[in-house]
Amino acid sequence: MKALITGITGQDGAYLSELLLSHGYEVHGIVRRSSSFNTARIDNLISTHTKDNMLQLHYSDLLDSSSITNLINNVQPDEVYNLGAQSHVAVSFQNPILTTQLGTLGSITILEAIRHLDKDVKFYQASSSEMFGGSSKDMLNENSVFDAKSPYGASKVFAHEITKIYRESYNVFGVNGILFNHESPLRGETFVTRKISKAVGRIAAGIQSKLTLGNLDASRDWGYAKDYVKGMWLMMQHNQAEDWVLATGTSKTVREFAEEAFKLVNLNMEDYVITSEKYLRPNEVDYLLGDSSKARNILNWKPEVGFKELVKIMVEFDINEAKKDVALLNDNLISPTWEYPVVK
Ligand code: NAP
Ligand code: G4F
């Protein structure tokens, strides 16, 4: 089996590649040319799996339709996983056009290429709970109404709908995985969970004094990314293409996540967390809670890692990272304070 992954260098791309390689897939991934290396999350896979060509990377970009189409024609994959995106909701308010171009053009380019290929190719679209908008405390499932609150959410609604349209109009095997928030030590450092776990590690190591956050009352259904990529693969092995929700069924606030994280290093979050308006969004998704009974019953999928274990996995990882930072600091190789200057 051959799989092509857009977004292979991201959190989910890294875990999904690892899973597919373990199932014997030949994995192809697209990477963006950047002025510095952007493959840190998959460097371990590159060193093990590129020698025998089981992992092959190609320079491309979701905005470069002709290169994506050529790649699909050349690789002739059995499965395409479209994970590439500008995936930060707050940044989507700052870069709305780029976020929308990526979210919309990427999916339709791939679907068009697949439709014209003389081969049955399965397509996975990374849909998101962000599409629901989160204004009520209802449990959300595959039939819940979309009410996106950000340019990112709106672009995901387009990609979701166009996948359904290609499924119904052209019989393309197009799967929408509506995934609720999923986190891990590979999570980008400006998403709130990783921002917290990283700060906790550094505060415990004595190299950071405060953590500045935005809305502490927002609530999310947080799961573990490794569990969720298994769900993606299971969706693609099902006998028909459908929409599927993956979620834990538990929603916790940002405050609860921070409390749990600080508790693990015997500190009280109130002594370290301050809030700033600069991390508030023009429009907020207040509450997300998912109902994944369909995936649990039909795909036999279930999240293995619960909330407390997730926080522990992330904090323990970042305690070790902070120890490495201490060593670099001692050699004057990094700066003593840490906070992204621009990104929300
Ligand atoms: P991520 O860590 O932010 O990874 C995003 C990936 O997209 C990276 O590989 C990134 O490449 C790539 N990318 C960005 N711009 C691109 C472009 N112009 N052309 C090609 N690739 C581009 O995101 P993630 O957490 O793994 O999420 C994977 C997908 O699931 C995303 O589509 C996200 O929107 C969606 N999703 C995520 C969650 C979640 O909780 N994590 C929930 C629901 C849906 P670089 O490394 O070069 O930046
Ligand atoms: O960690 P976040 O930035 O994730 P968000 O906005 O829920 O989006 C993530 O999950 C979506 C699935 O629902 C994905 F589709 C999307 O790609 C991404 O992976 O923010 C979570 C909550 C928000 O309500 C935010 O306002 O945390 C709040 N928050 C409070 N302080 C903060 C901060 N968020 C960030 N990033 N940084 C803060 O300092």
> Is 241 in contact with 173 (CB distance < 8 Å)?
yes
pLDDT category at 330 given cuts 50, 70, 90 is confident
Q: Looking at the annotation, which residues are catalytic?
A: 128, 130, 152
How far apart are the CA of 284 and the centre of ligand 2, in A? 9
> Is 244 in contact with 294 (CB distance < 8 Å)?
yes
Query: What local confidence, expressed as pLDDT, does residue 212 receive?
Result: 97
Query: What local confidence, expressed as pLDDT, does residue 327 receive?
Result: 84
Report which protein residue has its CA nearest ligand 1's atom 23: 10
Query: What local confidence, expressed as pLDDT, does residue 325 receive?
Result: 87
pTM of the full structure: 0.97
Q: Tell me the average pLDDT across 30-48.
A: 95
Query: What local confidence, expressed as pLDDT, does residue 344 receive?
Result: 46
Q: Looking at the CA of 124, which ligand is closest?
A: 1
Query: What local confidence, expressed as pLDDT, does residue 335 receive?
Result: 66
Cα separation, 217 vs 212, in Å, equals 14
Based on the number of CB atoms within 10 Å of its own CB, is 54 exposed (0-12), middle (13-18) or buried (19 or more)? middle
pLDDT category at 198 given cuts 50, 70, 90 is very high
pLDDT category at 343 given cuts 50, 70, 90 is very low
Query: What local confidence, expressed as pLDDT, does residue 218 receive?
Result: 98
pLDDT category at 337 given cuts 50, 70, 90 is low
Instruction: Please state whether 158 falls in left (phi above 0), alpha (psi between -120 and 50) or beta.
Output: alpha
Q: Tell me the average pLDDT across 256-277.
A: 98
> Per-residue pLDDT tens for 131-184?
999 999 999 999 999 999 999 999 999 999 999 999 999 999 999 999 999 999
Query: What local confidence, expressed as pLDDT, does residue 223 receive?
Result: 98
Angle between helices 151-170 and 96-116 (to 10 degrees): 10
Pocket lining: 144 vs ligand 1, CB cutoff 6 Å: no
Pocket lining: 181 vs ligand 2, CB cutoff 6 Å: yes
Q: Which of 222, 214, 197, 200 is nearest to 313 (CA)?
A: 197
Q: Spell out the domain ranges in the chain.
A: 2-183+221-246
Query: What local confidence, expressed as pLDDT, does residue 336 receive?
Result: 61
Pocket lining: 28 vs ligand 1, CB cutoff 6 Å: no
Tokens of 282: 């023009």
Ligand 1 atom nearest 225 alpha carbon:
41
* Percent of the chain surpassing pLDDT 90: 94
Assess whether pLDDT exceeds 70 at residue 48.
yes
Pocket lining: 85 vs ligand 1, CB cutoff 6 Å: yes
Tokens of 272: 């370290």
pLDDT category at 331 given cuts 50, 70, 90 is confident
> Per-residue pLDDT tens for 238-251?
999 999 999 999 99
Across the chain, mean pLDDT equals 96
Beta bridge pairs of residue 80: 4, 123
Pocket lining: 285 vs ligand 1, CB cutoff 6 Å: no
pLDDT category at 84 given cuts 50, 70, 90 is very high
Could you tell me the fold of the domain covering 2-183+221-246? Rossmann fold (3.40.50)
Query: What local confidence, expressed as pLDDT, does residue 341 receive?
Result: 53
Pocket lining: 91 vs ligand 1, CB cutoff 6 Å: no
Q: Of 12, 27, 43, 175, which is best to mutate to test ligand 1, by the most ligand atoms within 8 angstroms of its C-beta?
A: 12
> Per-residue pLDDT tens for 106-136?
999 999 999 999 999 999 999 999 999 999 9
Query: What local confidence, expressed as pLDDT, does residue 328 receive?
Result: 83
Q: Of 83, 89, 229, 284, which is best to mutate to test ligand 2, by the most ligand atoms within 8 angstroms of its C-beta?
A: 89
pLDDT category at 340 given cuts 50, 70, 90 is low
